[in-house]
Structure 1
């Protein structure tokens, strides 16, 4: 089997790594890839957002399967274009992907289908939004409706922070057209958990739970990021609550999508807030999470290709997902200044030493090759991932690898997995 993966992040490196383990896969190309993916796949210099070029390349190479990683090409209709060209592709249509590409659509969809979520209001007019903030004191969330690489949701602890966030999104245009419309949302309290599921348009099969760490700094402080680390499985939901989430959130969503003529085939990702026996949906995403993918796929024992093909063929109910009993942890190493401005082109050392550590893999994201050197080329640079029989050991292994990797200004959180340990009655 010949496979094309679209994207350049740590999620896509993890997808290539997992696909490479399948006995069905003989050849993998990735467009455009990064400084690490070239070791196990063929990097192709085509942007993940260049839909015509990707379709032309996929047709010429006659790929048996294309897997789309990021949300932007899905929102641009890449999956639709590939299907129209007669190619086999995993990922939702452009219309179905609106569940992530438009927060306004997503929130209205949840309200219409009685999916539990935070109270909210939407605005295209700055003055109206400002007036709403005056009547709804902090803490509150101000969110750009469109895609903003995970940075368009701003949690505001004071009324001034809320006004500043609104100015940043709608007046200063920090996220461009993504901020044409905003969602202002109540602040929920509890534990966040990522619930990802495979869907074939009818059947929904959840993956193991994971917990991302969105804030830039230890203790969940600082600006929101694309994710600074993750662990799985997250011991935050029991089987009874998982069944409720599957029935009241995931299945309801897929059923409603099918009824409105936009069947959902791909990964459905629900970001949840858990408080006691209650849960609400914070957001939907239309793809594998990043860095959730980096901790989920190493624990998947079922052949990933078989799962993806079952989704495409509408036969997911015939596949049983098998998971390892181990625990996996990913620590993101980022460039100094992320999620703001940062320097590129710093040489990374220690990758070979990290690769020698047991049950450890370094997934690349913002990196590039320059001859024999690997250089930083983005905000989130590496996802240092390790697995073990228990969470504490997996954390130790991941940080042992982090400590041998260096470049000027490398930053990372030191508390990834601490919430899981506390849930188990332990500490870092």
Structure 2
């Protein structure tokens, strides 16, 4: 079976590894923006071929697809979806696993995603206000209090600023930070011509984040195990937001701090959003879909944002545990034959993924680029771990160079978190900078200390949202005003 994968990074390398195990004897072909040595190897070793071309160029991707006549095309990243690559391929009769441009709007536009949730009254929604004009945004932000400021468009997981505004003596300083950050975001978002709104300001919530991924053919929804991403650059969730510095999974279908009831509720929310999306677009959603969730005291399972593809690095956690024929599942979804399919996983192990990135990421991609780097795969395999090649390029001199983002993802599994963590810490030492440029990773991902903290936070949040549920207060915002008493949903004007 000929499989064409479109994409250049760690997500696509994970997909290639999962696909390669299939009994359908796949030949893997890849269209990538740069020469990723991991993807190149998967293609060559299966008898396929690789191409370096713009993955968002409809014409170029169509040209390659026409040359190959693949049985299935798998689109990995979001940007080709936004550019209409999926639609163009389907119009030419190709079988495609990947959201259409209209369906992918659920990721591209955070305003659209929030609007859909409010329009269809879906649980887990947050108050928000969106802005096209920088002056209007500045005025609103000055008095907004506790908020999250985000780019209104998907920007690779970066650009989110959480501002907790509770200390009165810092109000002047915080207002200045808010205004300057609004200016910065408007400047950055001005380069995107495919959205009207530039920034979105959301109700701030606290809790424990996790990702719920599903595969769907437009009718049937196949849920995958819950995974927790760690988006902050530095240990203990500090520093700028990144595309994800690592992730944990297991054991089984849930995480140590999420219950099965919360898992079921999460999948119910995701499924309702998919149905609402069909009502809005009149197009079946075919591909991977994910809810970036947070367990909060406001709703319990709460939506932070959506992905119109597999999460990265979340998909990497599936590499050691999937026992089903993953290619068959993707193919059946693309052909709208997913009904009745079950995903079998190894429920007796946990997985930890750690990303290794060059200094400068995520704030200065140029600074983090063009540094020579080396990975000793043999030593990592001796630990029963896998290496996924992400933002690295193979040069003409057979040296690997960083591309400015996460260079490698190290995937380790074990019978428990202690074993998987020990393996991951041993494995990361076999990635080396050859020109002396600093590399960094998050040592705390998968550690007992961080897991215990997540469990404590989830327990406190659970007590709050369950008490609110018993009193019919889920999703409601209550404040007390002197002389007026308790006011319900005072932020209702926040929605736009």
TM-score, structure 1 normalization? 0.94
1:54 counterpart = 2:74: no
Shift of 1:174: 7.2
1:40 counterpart = 2:33: no
Inter-partner Cα distance in structure 2 for 1:262 and 1:183? 26
Question: Of 254, 261, 283, which residue of structure 2 is paired with 1:240?
Answer: 261
Matched with 1:420 is 451
1:237-280 CA-to-partner distances (Å, cap 9, x unmatched) read 21112222222x12211222223302211111001110367121
Determine if contact 2:358/2:440 at 8 Å carries over to the other structure: yes
Matched with 1:65 is 72
Distance 1:179 1:402, change over 3 A: farther
Shift of 1:140: 1.7
Determine if contact 1:19/1:25 at 8 Å carries over to the other structure: no
SS of 2:374 mapped into structure 1: coil
1:336 counterpart = 2:359: yes
Matched with 1:103 is 110
Structure 2 gaps of 5+ residues are 44-48, 165-173, 457-496
| Cα root mean square deviation, aligned | 1.9
SS of 2:370 mapped into structure 1: coil
Determine if contact 2:372/2:402 at 8 Å carries over to the other structure: yes
Determine if contact 2:358/2:368 at 8 Å carries over to the other structure: yes
Matched with 2:336 is 314
Structure 1 gaps of 5+ residues are none
Matched with 1:365 is 390
SS of 2:407 mapped into structure 1: strand
Question: Of 201, 205, 208, which residue of structure 1 is paired with 2:218?
Answer: 201
Matched with 2:15 is 15
User: Mapping of 1:14-413 within 5 angstroms?
Assistant: 14-32=14-32, 34-41=36-43, 42-115=49-122, 116-137=124-145, 139-157=146-164, 158-171=174-187, 173=189, 176-177=192-193, 180-233=197-250, 234-247=255-268, 249-260=269-280, 261-275=282-296, 278-325=300-347, 326-341=349-364, 342-370=367-395, 371-407=397-433, 408-413=437-442
TM-score, structure 2 normalization? 0.81
Distance 1:352 1:197, change over 3 A: closer
Determine if contact 1:204/1:250 at 8 Å carries over to the other structure: no
1:278-313 CA-to-partner distances (Å, cap 9, x unmatched) read 121000110000000111233111111111122123
Inter-partner Cα distance in structure 2 for 1:141 and 1:70? 25
Inter-partner Cα distance in structure 1 for 2:196 and 2:358? 26
Inter-partner Cα distance in structure 2 for 1:297 and 1:318? 22
Shift of 1:422: 4.4
Which has the higher mean CA deviation after the structures are superposed, 366-375 or 141-150?
Answer: 366-375
Shift of 1:423: 5.0
Inter-partner Cα distance in structure 2 for 1:25 and 1:420? 39
Which has the higher mean CA deviation after the structures are superposed, 405-414 or 156-165?
Answer: 156-165
Inter-partner Cα distance in structure 2 for 1:421 and 1:27? 44
Inter-partner Cα distance in structure 1 for 2:439 and 2:70? 38
SS of 1:73 mapped into structure 2: helix
Determine if contact 1:199/1:268 at 8 Å carries over to the other structure: yes
Inter-partner Cα distance in structure 2 for 1:354 and 1:213? 26
